[in-house]
């Protein structure tokens, strides 16, 4: 019986982490999806969607976002190129539920990036808030080039 209780508890913890139920919204640089959208539209930040192409295809991309799959080997170099070509604006990272963006925020800061902002709600919502989709913020479809991993915005 004890093994079953442990398995259920472990499964519950896994689900809570997967959906980022306990999103850390204290300290650090963070934005709500509404504020990230507003600032990206105003040209104050770069909003980077770090999800996979199949996720972009399934849900769409935040209208002002630039898609850049975080699994790319040249992810950091692409961000450096973006910053070099368009000014030193802060970079806000959005993923599905804020888990990957939080990890990428830490990784980028450890590698010398200084103006990184996490959007912990993500596209689908988390413990930080309902998410970009439920806020009914504007979306756009991923282009064929974006789905193929081509970066057209540099």
Q: Which residues contact 42 (CB under 8 A, 6 or more apart)?
A: none
Q: Write down the mean pLDDT value for the chain.
A: 87
pLDDT tens figures, 83-141? 888 777 999 999 999 999 999 999 999 999 999 999 999 999 999 999 999 999 999 99
This prediction has a pTM of 0.83
Q: Which residues contact 85 (CB under 8 A, 6 or more apart)?
A: 154
CA angle 94-112-68, nearest 5°?
Answer: 30
pLDDT category of residue 152 using cuts at 50, 70 and 90: confident
pLDDT tens figures, 5-51? 444 544 544 544 445 455 454 445 999 999 999 999 999 999 999 99
Residue ranges covered by each domain of the chain: 2-147
Task: Single out the residue of 154, 152, 82 nearest to residue 116, CA to CA.
Answer: 82
Tell the CATH topology of 2-147. Oxidized Rhodanese; domain 1 (3.40.250)
């Amino acid at each position: 019986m004890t093994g079953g209780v442990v398995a259920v508890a472990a499964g519950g913890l896994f689900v809570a982490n997967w959906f980022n139920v306990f999103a850390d919204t204290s300290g650090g640089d963070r934005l709500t999806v509404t504020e990230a959208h507003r600032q990206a539209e105003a040209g104050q930040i770069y909003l980077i969607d770090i999800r996979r192409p199949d996720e972009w295809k399934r849900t769409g991309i935040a209208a002002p976002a630039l898609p850049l799959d975080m699994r790319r080997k040249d992810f950091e170099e692409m961000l450096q190129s973006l910053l070099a070509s368009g000014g030193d604006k802060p970079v806000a990272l959005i993923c599905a539920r804020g888990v990957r963006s939080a990890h990428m925020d830490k990784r980028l800061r450890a590698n010398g990036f200084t103006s990184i902002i996490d959007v912990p709600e993500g596209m689908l919502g988390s413990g930080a808030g309902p998410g970009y989709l439920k806020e009914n913020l504007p979306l756009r479809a991923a282009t064929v080039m974006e789905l193929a991993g081509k970066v057209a915005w540099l």
